[in-house]
Structure 1
């Protein structure tokens, strides 16, 4: 299962997606544990980034090329699974693609948000890299502090420890992913997915190619029901994830569609009526019912 870490530039929060398909709701830095040698090609489909690996597996980053309200764009970082080396890939899927070796994700955050508030990047980057604690710092054009400003000394410095939640601007951001949806079932006619998930989260059903088939908001009792656009009756493998309001996505639950025979038997052959008119004989599909 592919693990992809996404760090939101707008929210300063991070989450891990255990899937080959990631849907971004804001401009983000994505860290994927693959080496450059594992990649066959990059391509762009609308605003989605498609990464094809040498083993023919595909990674889809939906909304990767969508530009945020402040002009922010998403960035891709590759982490070599052998030595942990980080490579920042700018402009993937274009002729202007360039690899840059970096020491930490904080370098990407700092460079891509120049003149913006980067304190959240420092902390979120620390959480991703497992650093114990860092100070919330830096400044923004509308949050200037003079050398004589004693507001920090009055409130005390803020220290953040890398845990499930991240402190940003004195507030705790939810970075804990919901639990995997449970009791997931596909109806006999292949048209409806039901189950249980975190109340208020959004449950999304994807097909085996990572394409979304439907989504719904989970009710207050934790139950959900997703109506699919077409009946899944040919043994398809479906994945079901829950994404909370902070953008954290659960591990995927899987369900396999039944294989339903929709082919009619051949016409019975050699059909004969006995001389006394009481018996019909002939040949038909084994196990079928002759009427």
Structure 2
């Protein structure tokens, strides 16, 4: 005959029953040291639970399936090493750390429950939980946890019952850089392992995971692991588990674009808001000398950033390189350029393009002494100005010649009308290209005019480098 200990959950009254028939009048814990394997079949007969043993005996627990004030009864087997297995009549067996977990108000009743439980030999997880007795016959549980850069969490336990709940707390930051914490649950597998995934709410970077599980002595066993951005893991861990750079489920990246007005825009992926972007700008100054400057920008919450090309850069070819680090401390960069290109596929015309914040222009002025002067805007120093001069020679024949001039650092240029041109009407056309390869031109003329509004007198004006004279001899 098998002894059963019946504990009423409400009153905590206990009784020892040595019979094949047990009658319950309250929701109770029915505890036996009989092995689970001794039972060939569990049968529900109305509200009664029948245990059909392999030796042919049948034990009847009357009213087992009746809920009293929403509290149900439980059947607990105590096996080798005081390990407790719980059967609620609905599902399979589950390991439990102690009988106290089956009480509706375990915390308030545990103290009064312990003395007489110990008296009838029910030690196991209950006594261990109350006294933290390391000399318990059940070994204390162990727990380890690791999180990898891809967000996969693995854990390993020993002396933890199969199916035990593992509470995992994950702490890190969201995509906006705010500190967040999430709790997830998993269960211990038959081999003592457990697995989970870092929720998608967490952005790449620093991360901490902590796990808690209750061992078979009722003790809470904790473990933790961290991923630190830009720092290697513990070098003592196996090589394949040493992951630098924190959580890293998204590759960091950056883009940059500069338009011909000098507006710089860009976007980032997996870069924390508020991060600094270094923009290295290479071009030339107004004098045509090479120029390089760095500009700082800040990443917005949506990952974008903006900046401007400094005013010191002259129009023309320009390169912008953007650099920052992602949430894992990995450097990322991108580059954009404004280059002159053969826009019309005509090698005889100048290439065009580049920074173009200033419209190019040229002026030209020729005086009656043949001095040509002019100025330019957005034309590189040293550029060539072609001057096409149209007039007449000393014999009165039409004459056209080209003269070359060079743009000075201040944008000016000078030239002279060649000596072959006779006094009289003259036209000078000036042509060059600005820093973007755009042609610019201007024209000036010396013309004869009716200077005295008297049609009977000859018009006057034009090139006048030689004083007119006449001689007569009789």
Specify if TM > 0.5.
Answer: no
Kindly indicate which of the two structures has a greater share of residues assigned to strand.
2
Higher relative contact order structure (alpha carbons within 8 Å, sequence separation ≥ 6): 1
Larger Rg: 2
TM-score normalised by the chain length of structure 2: 0.24
